[in-house]
Every structure is written in C-alpha cells, then in structure tokens.
C-alpha cells in the first residue's frame, strides 16, 4: 500500500498531513556528525552507498517522517558530466573548470569527459534505502533544476545573485541554451535511474530561480523544468514530480500551470493563503514554514505551523520547510514541530 505522502502527491486528501523536511538527513543530527567524523568528507559519504543509505534513514528512525529524502547533492550531475567537484570546509562546493571562463560554451562542454558511473553509486544508495524502509514511508529522489545547476557550472561556485551566470545567459543565450540542454538530458536519465532503483517520487530543486527577471524566468526556469517533466513522465508515467522554484514569487502560478509538475513546493516567503487562492485547484502543495522559525522554536513555531495547515486544509498538502533545515536546529524543536503537525485536525 502506498504511504500517506505518496497518496498526497497523487492528489488525495486524508485526515492527516504528511511531513518531511528538506535537508532532514544531515548536520543537525548528532548521529550524522558521528558518521561523517568516521567516514570523512561530504563526497566520500555521498558516494558510499552504505553510509549514504544510513544517513538517509537516520531521521526516519528518529522522527518517523513520512518521506525519506535521498542523501546526496545537486552537484552530482555536473560531476558526472565531467567537472571536478570538491567541498571546501567553510566555503562550500567548487566546480572546475568554471564554464563561464571559456570563450565557447559548446567547446567547454565538449572538453568535459563524462563519468556516468558516478551516478551508479547513487542508484545503489536508493536501492539500499528502499530495502530499509517500510511501505508507509515514501522514498524521495531529487535533482537540481537546470538553471540552478548551470549557475554552479558556469561560475564554479555559488553566489548571492548569480551575476556571472545571469550575465552569461544575456551575453550568449544560444551557448547557454546548449548548457541547459545538456543538463536536461543528464537529469532525465538520472531521475529515471533513481526511479528504477526504488525512488517513488522526485523533487526538482531550483534554489536560485528567484534571481531571474520575468522573461528570463520563463526561458531558464519554466521551459527547462517543463522539458524534464515531459521526458521523465514518458519514461516513468506514475512517478510524482515536485517542483520547488525558490523565490518564484508572483511567477509561482505560471510555474505550476506550465511546467507540468504534480506538486509545487513553496519557500518561506510565500503567503499560504495567497498560494491556496492562486494555484490550480486540487494541486498538491508542499511547505512552507521558515527554517529560522524552526531554529527558534516555541509557541510561535506551533502557531505558524497551524496557520499553514489551516490555509491548505482544502487541498492536498505536504508539510515541510520553506528551504533546508539549519544545521544548528535543536532536536527538541523538530520534535515540537512533528507533534504540532501530527496533532493537527483541521
């Protein structure tokens, strides 16, 4: 029997709201920190199926979430495409060579030596996790959306306003389209591979969608995500797809209508009452409490959780954060949130 989360993503409403948290498998958990100290750096963990599966399962054992999100990273795709990837302590990920430094994007892409076997260990992790979960818990795979992945591939690192990549897309839209198309092709294969290994739903993370002007949003967020959804649905017709365009703001209804995703994730800046009014009727939504409110905890956390639950009481709703959990979040605050959601009866 499908779990509560999977039923909700397929458009069903029940008496209880399913719950999982973005980045729920990670640094806020002492058991994760202990395993990382034993095994080494982030990439070593991500490419070790036994360790990555254990990390994915840790929050399920502790909190009983309805969804287990694969422990991995959106930059696995460019790593498989041939860019070198490293995670520097205190500085975040670095990809080399940065493609924006090349005179010709297509030549830069052709110069990369793809390493598709880097994806094989991720599929092995998915299979291990699925074997370790009960049928009531949905296994979620994921990938980065093309615009967000391209920002890292072009600049070699993250930035606050993605100025390097935005300028590249304006300066050389044809070349940038080639980069986006290459990311789309690998991402479709990657997500289909996760589904074949046991993922029951997937999420497309567009973490930097909010940095784009409206027409650029249409070109680099809506169109590429729509292409992924169309191609992936042809290969995996029963696989629910969650789209998470962080920062989309007023473009959220257009994203929901035009990408073809089954459910849409909302960041913490979105008013849930507004979202419920403007999104397609019956479309599942996911979100959207502020991760910093979870960090703070207390009565405001419970009150806000209840307000979000009330706003979406008339449609399928997956309770989640508006982005990833902060690594300094106290365990007791997560337990407080879980109790508030589990105890809700709208």
Q: Which residues are catalytic?
A: 23, 27, 36, 73, 152
In the structure encoding, which two tokens stand for residue 64, read together?
């009983």
Q: Where are the alpha helices (DSSP H) in the chain?
A: 4-9, 30-39, 42-46, 49-63, 76-81, 105-111, 120-132, 146-155, 163-171, 173-197, 214-217, 223-235, 252-259, 272-278, 291-296, 299-311, 331-342
Run of H or E residues at 99: none
Q: Taking the CA atoms of 140, 141, 145 and 151 in sequence, report the sign of the dihedral they define.
A: positive
Q: For residue 111, what are the CA distances in angstroms to 78, 98, 190, 335?
A: 13, 12, 21, 49
**Nearest CA-CA partner of 340 in 286, 304, 290, 288:** 304
């Amino acid at each position: 029997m499908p779990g509560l989360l999977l039923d909700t993503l397929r458009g069903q409403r029940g008496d209880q709201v399913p719950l999982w948290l973005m980045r729920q498998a990670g640094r806020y958990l002492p058991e994760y920190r202990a395993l990382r100290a034993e095994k080494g750096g982030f990439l070593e963990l991500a490419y070790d199926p036994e360790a990555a599966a254990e990390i994915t399962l840790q929050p399920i054992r502790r909190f009983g979430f309805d969804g287990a999100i694969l422990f991995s990273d959106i930059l696995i795709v460019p790593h498989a495409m041939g860019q070198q990837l490293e995670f520097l302590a205190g500085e975040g990920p670095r990809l080399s060579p940065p493609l924006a430094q090349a005179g010709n994007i297509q030549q830069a892409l052709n110069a990369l030596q793809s390493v598709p076997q880097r994806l094989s260990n991720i599929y092995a992790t998915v299979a291990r996790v699925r074997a370790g979960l009960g049928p009531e818990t949905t296994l979620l795979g994921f990938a980065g959306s093309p615009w967000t992945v391209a920002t890292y591939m072009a600049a070699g690192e993250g930035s606050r306003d993605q100025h390097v990549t935005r300028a590249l897309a304006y300066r050389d839209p044809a070349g940038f389209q080639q980069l986006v198309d290459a990311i789309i092709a690998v991402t479709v294969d990657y997500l289909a591979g996760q589904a074949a290994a046991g993922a029951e739903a997937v999420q497309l993370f567009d973490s930097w969608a909010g940095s784009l002007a409206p027409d650029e949003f249409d070109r680099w967020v809506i169109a590429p995500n729509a292409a992924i959804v169309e191609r992936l649905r042809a290969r995996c017709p029963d696989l629910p797809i969650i789209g998470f365009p962080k920062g989309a703001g007023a473009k959220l209804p257009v994203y929901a209508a035009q990408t073809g995703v089954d459910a849409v994730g909302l960041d913490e800046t979105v008013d849930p009452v507004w979202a419920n009014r403007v999104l397609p009727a019956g479309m599942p939504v996911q979100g959207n409490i502020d991760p910093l409110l979870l960090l703070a905890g207390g009565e405001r956390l419970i009150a806000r959780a209840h307000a979000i639950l009330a706003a979406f009481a008339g449609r399928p709703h997956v309770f989640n954060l508006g982005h990833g959990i902060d690594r300094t979040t106290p365990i007791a605050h997560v337990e407080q949130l879980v109790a508030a959601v589990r105890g809700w009866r709208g």
